[in-house]
């Protein structure tokens, strides 16, 4: 099925229009290309106004976004802990407050620097584990520190 764009007057497929639930054919009156051109033009003409609006929107919604990110972080971490068994591999402790993600082959700090942070970091790790990556394990804080000392990543006064 085709529709004529109200701006460029060219008949195009419905897939080239944004969805609009309020119209009879469920598509916007202008095609995606025309809408983008209008938005670019408006932005170029009113750049300062858009920047002020964007800054105000950021300030206004900061707390809401912060709560949303914290909840996503908790959920993705809980999902990762569940995938890894919710217990320390070495001693078997199940207290989630002290469980830490351990990179079996090392390189955890480099991995965090190179990849995204927050909930996306845990989601990527969970996805890689589900695809068969065996490079991660759960350790409690004590076992993780001991493993780091044994591997030579951390120093101890007891050496």
Lowest mean pLDDT among 33-37, 94-98, 103-107, 155-159: 155-159
Q: What pLDDT digit, counting tens, does each position of 47-62 carry?
A: 999 999 999 999 999 9
Going from N- to C-terminal start, the domains of the chain cover 2-48, 61-151
Q: What is the pTM of this model?
A: 0.63
Q: What pLDDT digit, counting tens, does each position of 52-109 carry?
A: 999 999 999 999 999 999 999 999 999 999 999 999 999 999 999 999 999 888 778 7
**Measured between alpha carbons, how far is 23 from 3 in angstroms, rounded to an integer?**
12
If you search the block for the tokens 């209008």, which residue do you land on?
Answer: 38
If you search the block for the tokens 């990556």, which residue do you land on?
Answer: 133
Please report which confidence band the pLDDT of residue 1 belongs to, taking 50, 70 and 90 as the band edges.
confident
Angle CA 31–35–41, to nearest 5? 150
């Amino acid at each position: 099925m085709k529709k004529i764009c109200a701006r460029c007057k060219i008949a195009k497929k419905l897939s080239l229009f944004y969805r609009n639930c309020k119209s009879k054919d469920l598509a916007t009156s202008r095609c995606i290309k025309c809408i983008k051109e209008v938005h670019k033009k408006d932005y170029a003409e009113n750049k300062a106004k858009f920047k002020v609006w964007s800054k105000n929107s950021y300030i206004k919604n900061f707390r809401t976004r912060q709560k949303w990110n914290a909840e996503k972080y908790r959920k993705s971490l809980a999902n990762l802990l569940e995938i890894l068994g919710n217990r320390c591999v070495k001693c078997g402790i199940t207290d989630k407050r002290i469980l830490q993600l351990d990179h079996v082959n090392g390189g955890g700090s480099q991995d965090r620097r190179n990849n995204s942070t927050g909930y996306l970091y845990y989601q990527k790790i969970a996805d890689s584990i589900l695809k068969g990556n065996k490079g991660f394990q759960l350790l409690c804080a004590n076992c993780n520190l001991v493993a780091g000392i044994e591997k030579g990543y951390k120093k101890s006064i007891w050496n």
